[in-house]
Amino acid sequence: MTVIATYQSIALDEWGITHKSGMIGTVRQALTSASLPIFAKLSDYIGRLFVLGGAVTLWIVGPILVATAGGLAQWLPGYVMYTLGHVAANSE
């Protein structure tokens, strides 16, 4: 989370929407708490290796989308993917 969190404020400032940082934090916290039990149950049913592979994929694609975003509408899906990958990798 460190790299994306560091540059999040810079990107939001550049786009002129720093007032939305609270919304982004709320989305992240809600997504984390809601998806943790889902990933834990998925790893029981379809296998931990498969869930870990999906987590690594999300963990790689998410920051790429974040880095190439030109606005919040393109940045948020990458941030969500990165967060899901982070949660899935740590739910093991």
Per residue in 23-79, pLDDT (tens digit) is: 888 988 999 999 989 988 998 899 889 999 999 999 999 989 988 888 888 888 998
- Position 89 pLDDT exceeds 90: no
The CA distance from 20 to 22, in Å, is 5
Angle at 11 (CA atoms; ends 28, 87), nearest 5 degrees = 25
Q: Amino acid identity of 61?
A: V
The CA distance from 85 to 87, in Å, is 5
Which whole number is the average pLDDT over 6-28? 83
Q: Say which residue, 52 or 12, is predicted with more confidence.
A: 52
